[in-house]
Structure 1
Amino acid sequence: MTAQTETPKTETGSCCTTDGSCHDAPAATEQQGTVTAVYQVSGMTCGHCEGAVSSEISEIAGVTSVKAVAATGEVTVVSGAPLDEAAVRAAVDEAGYELTGKA
C-alpha cells in the first residue's frame, strides 16, 4: 500500500480551500511590517466627509494609508504598527465624526 498525501482542494474560481482557509493570505492582518485595521465611523455622508476623516487619521504617527468610504462608514487604516484606538478616536472626533469601534 502506498502512502498518499491529500492536498487541499480549491473551489472553482476561488483561492480558498474547501475548509475556508486561503492558502495565499496571511493568517492575520499583519504582513511585512504593516497592520491593517478597519474602523466604523458614523456621520460620514459624502466625499468631503471621507477627506476630512482621512486627513485627520493620516496625521497619526505611523499611518501609511487611509481609505474612508462614506456609503459604508468604514475607514481602512494601514500603519507600521497597531494604532492606539484612543488616538484614532481623537482624530475622527477632530474631523467632526464619531468612531463607533472596529468593523
Structure 2
Amino acid sequence: MTTETQLPQATDSCCSPSGSCHDSASGEATMGGVTTVYQVTGMTCGHCEGAVSEEVSGIEGVTSVEAVASTGRVTVVSMVPLTEDAVRAAVDEAGYVLVGQA
C-alpha cells in the first residue's frame, strides 16, 4: 500500500528567465517532491515528534517532515523516493519503531 504522490511542479523552472530552481535567499528547491506517509509507534508527545522529525530530516534529499504523535503518522517530503530502510534507521535512532507506510 503506497501513498507516494508527486506534488505539483512549480510554475517556474530552471529554464525560466530567473535561471534557477532555487530560492536564492534560502537555497531550498522550489520544485515539487515526493510525499510519503509512514506509521510510527511509540510517539506520545511533542518531544517525540521533534526527535523523529530531527532524525528523518537528516536523510539526504528530505525537504520537510511532519510527525503527529496522536496519529503516529510521519509525513515526509523528499526530492526523490526514500528507501524504507533509510527511514527505518532514522526512526530507530530517534528511539521509535517504523511500522511501514501508512
**TM-score when scaled to structure 1?**
0.72
- Residue 29 of structure 1: how far off its partner (Å): 1.1
Cα RMSD of the aligned pairs, angstroms, is 1.0
Shifted more, 45-54 versus 29-38: the winner is: 29-38
Correspondence for 1:49: 48
Counterparts in 2 of 1:83-102, with a 5 A limit?
A: 83-102=82-101
Runs ≥4 in structure 1, deviation > 6 angstroms? none
**Percent identity at matched positions?**
74
Counterparts in 2 of 1:1-103, with a 5 A limit?
A: 29-31=5-7, 32=9, 33-103=32-102
Greater Rg by CA: 1
Q: Per the alignment, in what secondary structure is the counterpart of residue 52 of structure 2?
A: helix
**TM-score when scaled to structure 2?**
0.72
Paired with 2:34 and 2:94, the residues of 1 have a C-alpha distance of 23
Paired residues in the alignment total 76
Provide structure 2 residue ranges, at least 5 long, that are not aligned to the other structure: 10-31
Q: Per the alignment, in what secondary structure is the counterpart of residue 92 of structure 2?
A: helix
Correspondence for 1:10: none
